[in-house]
Structure 1
Amino acid sequence: MTTAPLAPGRRGLRLQLRFPRRLALGATTLAVLLALWELVGVRQLVPFVVPFTDALSGAWSLVTSERLKTDVLPSAGRALAGFLLGGSVGYVIGTLLGVLPTLERWTRPALEFARATPVPILIPVLFAAFGASSTTRIGLIALAAAWPVLLNATDGARAVDVRLLDAARVAGYGPVMRLRRVTVPAALPQVFAGLRIALGLSLVMMVVSEMVSADSGLGQFVLQSQRSFALLDMYSGVLVLATLGGLFTAAFNLVERRALRWYHGQKGMAHD
């Protein structure tokens, strides 16, 4: 027995109701995890774990003190700058490699060698060469963020349906117009998947780079708190970092939903 497809209006309503439901489930899971953290801290079930409410109070003190300007905002700015720079470079290079197979064959050995080199191992090298400046840290973050975007953009551009390109060619589209109207939109879902990975790597590299030869930043704050056994400060810094990551992810999700509205709509209709 077959069922009639949902009308477009009902499809839209169903998609709108699906998001709040997922949000409620995620919020419930987060609340349970935070409650477990509070229980472990209050009962001292694990040594050196402070209760969540204490860490939350410390995090509030951290972001309302002078450290907001000296540590929190500079760290957020470096992570965001490195993510945008690395994502842009990876997107451009990856798209070019995807549409120019000859260029990809010439550069593949060098790219594979560079990709296999762990970015954290370059911290002492680049710090020795260029100094432990904020610019060098942003460069390290960008280097880590570029790879997932580059690889996904290459695969996305290479996997464009040949029939779409042939149809565009028959319609009189030149190479640049085919790139803009066919290749870029078709590869965009994979590009955003790479950007999502790059966002997490940017935050990780921000913390790691600030733990080496830094006099400010959240990574340095957490490390110094651990070394001085200031456990409350350490957990407060970790909580601020987690919140910062959550805010970045929420903003990214908003941009992704707007940029890929057509793609998610097609997925929703396919599921229906």
Structure 2
Amino acid sequence: MGVTQTNRAGLGSTTNKIFSKEGPKEKKRDMVLEEVRVFEEEQRTSVAVAQAKQCAWTKWNDIEPIKLSWKSLIAMEPLAISFLLRSTYDILPNATNLKLWGYTDSDLCFSCKQDRGTLRHVISGCPKLLQLYTWRHNQVLEIIIKLLRTQCESANQQPVTVKKPTIQFHKESERPARRKKNSEVKLLNGTNDWKILADLNTSLQFLAHIIQTEKRAEIVAWSDTKKNILLIELTVPWEDNVEDAHERNKNRYETLLADCIEKN
């Protein structure tokens, strides 16, 4: 009889994998493992969606998942691993959880004493913790600056090569060879005069020799030869606000981007 239809979709609208018609045993085994993995992930997600508090991470859209390997876990401090897992599932001992668990009678924030001490409030919304938020922001910014500076120095040490377009000929009966697409985009290639400025511990002024503006990004890397400018603006928002924060920063620099394009 073959595979029967189990839903209201039209005949032939879905495809089903028939393991017996596949190739070697290794491929069949990989297909079975993939099917089991997908099934278990669906079951886990369905249970997580029903838990609104501990599994709010199911509503985080456009969030890059953390790739934890055994090597990275071994290198991390135990307290860092504990904070990472407990903050993801919202089981840290904040004011609201302590009241929920029966340890305290009040769920007000320990710092401001004004709003409920939820995880979101403590991590990104308490007016008494602004200095800690700035410190956290600068710690992340410092890592980005260090990596970008290393990349710029490495690019400046490389010889500048200009690739000329070539034409590959082939015989009439032969098919042209497929070119391998390089998925890695190297923004710093093609010049060796990259410079970098950062708004960390000092007030960063935008490049006066390019355009006069009061706006400033947190990191600016530019090449006068290539006429390229890289603007980096860092925001460390609550996961639900990632998309909104991205749109705010994008709109903030639209005028500056248009002015730079006008200046070539």
Fold shared, TM-score > 0.5 on shorter chain: no
What's the TM-score, normalizing by structure 2? 0.24
Structure with more contact order per residue of length (Cα contacts < 8 Å, sep ≥ 6): 1
